[in-house]
Structure 1
Amino acid sequence: MKYFWILSFFSLLLVGCSRGFDLNWTEVVFNGEVSVGGSPLFVPLTLIQSAAAKGAVCLDGSLPGYHFHQGFGNGANSWLVQLEGGGWCNNIRTCFYRKKTRRGSSNYMEKQLQFTGILSDKPEDNPGRYFYNWNRVKIRYCDGASFLGEGYNMAAGLYFRGQRIWLTAMEELMSKGMREANQAFLIGCSAGGIAAIHHCDEFHALFPGSTKIKCLADAGMFLDAVDVAGRRTLRSFFSGIVNLQGVSRNLPGTCTSHLNPTLCFFPQNALSDVRTPLFILNSAYDVWQLQESLASKAADPHGYWQDCNMNNAKCNTGQIQFLQGFRNEMLNSVEKFSSSSKNGLFINSCFAHCQSERQDTWFGNDSPFIRNKRIAESVGDWYFDRSQVKIIDCPYPCDQTCHNLVFNGRH
């Protein structure tokens, strides 16, 4: 496991984890080049001017936004739409903090973002020459409930309008030509991965039946798992999100009719409701879930898991056994989903989180692969119906191609 991602400003992790799991995995420094070749592509932020009249606003009431790079050549009529990730907020305190950051206000968003990985405009970054010349959009995340909330807290001045942001963004993109698409792909990472799952069928419904529509969730399989203290940390946290931000009304009724809305927010309980072809890209040892759900400071107050959290190579035998149990839960949660011929799956054994938006994990000379296929090649084969893709890695530590996240600070 010689490839590592190093978190350059670990204080951001501490702040993020203490204020509503607002962990931003884009703030990492790699030991390789971000892009395989050519100059980097920076795409400006566009605010949705029509959003205010519809109440489709960020947590602080500011306008939502997106980054759009126009397609060209034979990709001019194809669209790839990415829903940004970035944690959640589950109570008034964490949401109030969040509204003063780029995760809750467009006033703090970067004016331009670099498009890499699946968003790259370079054919060498997207094997088979697909996606690179599509219309590519990154919708910024500023609501704190995976684009699913609906509500308002007057006392704190907090707008929970994730669902309206989603709808308004889709309306804006349709007006810019997406309604004429012959193929479209909805994707998302982390909290955006959950959003891609829950909005997949809504996205499909925007288009006529002749349009090819598929979805992808990267690092979105957050499990309702028991932590090292025997509790369900993430279930408790998600309950706060669902109840505070009015998420339940935007979850599928086929799920909420027989399960608590909090349980329906978990992808494992929503997958069976998704009718549109969907690809699950995930690590079997997702480091976000390890640090903030399975072995958080609350679950591990004495720090027994601290070294393992920081570097998977330092996990002891008992900890590895626990993580193998988590891997088994991950595989069980997608077993029925994987049996459908329309769906795709790529679950590797890397200690990672979000692998489609970074060039050195998406596609590069030293990118992770399973059965001689990198992530990009697997996704491409599935999207374009070249082959069925149901790829599951062998258990850790067998995969020597991984780029494992290792942190240089302390909890």
Structure 2
Amino acid sequence: MTKNNTQQTLLATALACALFSLSPAVSAGGILMYEVGTADVGLAAAGYAARAQDASTVLTNPAGMTRLSGNQTTLGAQVLHGDVGFSIGDGTSAGLGNKSGGNPVGWFPGGGAFYTHSLSPDLKLGFGVTGNFGSATKYEDGWVGRYRAQEGKLLGVSLLPSVATRINDKLSLGASLNLMYGMLDNKVAVNNIIGSDASLTLKDNSWGAGANLGLMYEVDAGRRFGLTYTSPVKLNFKAQAQWSDLAPGVRALLNARGLLDTQVDLGVTVPQGLMASTYQQIAPDWALLGSVGWQQWSKFGEAEIGIDSNNPTALSTQLPFRDTWHLSVGTQYKWSDAWLLNAGIGYDSGFQRNGQIALALPVNATWRFGVGGQKEQSSSFNWGWSLEYTPQGTLRSNAQGGVPVVLGGRGSVIGEYKKVNFIFLAMNFNWKS
């Protein structure tokens, strides 16, 4: 197989990974991940916008493409496991039962593919496809929070056509068009008051567009600074309410309120953000990397769906979120001619107030601890592995319901997600031609 055929096969494989991966409720600041199977996993995002050592710079900083010679392809693949278990606390309505919901996350695959093409040493084109935005949760049937969250999926897959140019021997500029395909699929139980529960499902798909702008400033061969701005992307979800197993009285009340056949506007905004990163070679075999970032989750717009069936007034309730910030530091060590070792520590602040964690989004402030390595197999091929551990501690929820469950209310759900953590295992493969 030729190099070109190999690269085409890899891009097709990664496209399949991105399209079929279900990013769980693990976050950068909110539910926008840094992890797409590349070497950044082992660095905990340290140097994210300045590293520019492979074609994944299409995503992290398109200006970094000017540092890559020839044509390059990067394939990233990862699997993660989320440990997210809910413990029922005092004050939870007795009528909701005693099921804690199991682990709503579990195992998920993910990844991305990136390609850069040299039109000249100073002008580069690129393309990427990855799914780095979203959450997916699925609780066990009959759990105490079923009237607020049962199954939820909010995913975005990005197509990233990109261009970069070198302005002079130090400054490069780049831009990517972020064409995002969003997928929404939410389901909650509905209290029928008498008998088994009904359900409400909202589904829709939507396209949105934004831009990623990058700057790379290279002081010299061993020192550089990168800055990336990602614009907001609006996903205008408009979902038709789909009901199952409604009791006749509840159906009649919904119809009288105009909610039975309503279309719900659940548009969300993938937040804008800034990331500034540095790469500093401090010795022939050592380099230090760092990143500082900000994301505007206060404009996210995600809503909780559900109703009190005795007095339904709306099918969704807006949730409050806060902007987040990121800080990470890391190192690269040239262990041998073949091996480059990576390590990093990062922290992202929470986009929810602890004590008000939404049952549909059991995620918040995140630590990242990453390690990894890259092996230079030949002048045209290298591969790498990464492992990252992301603990989030204990997340507390306090969803209050004013109407008793026996009268059709959703009840109060109070409790904790104890010792929430995620583990990423990633592999990346890089070809040059």
| Same fold flag (TM > 0.5) | no
Structure index of larger Rg: 2
Normalising by structure 1, what TM-score? 0.30
- Bigger relative contact order, structure 1 or 2 (CA pairs below 8 A, ≥6 apart): 2
Higher helix share: 1
Normalising by structure 2, what TM-score? 0.29
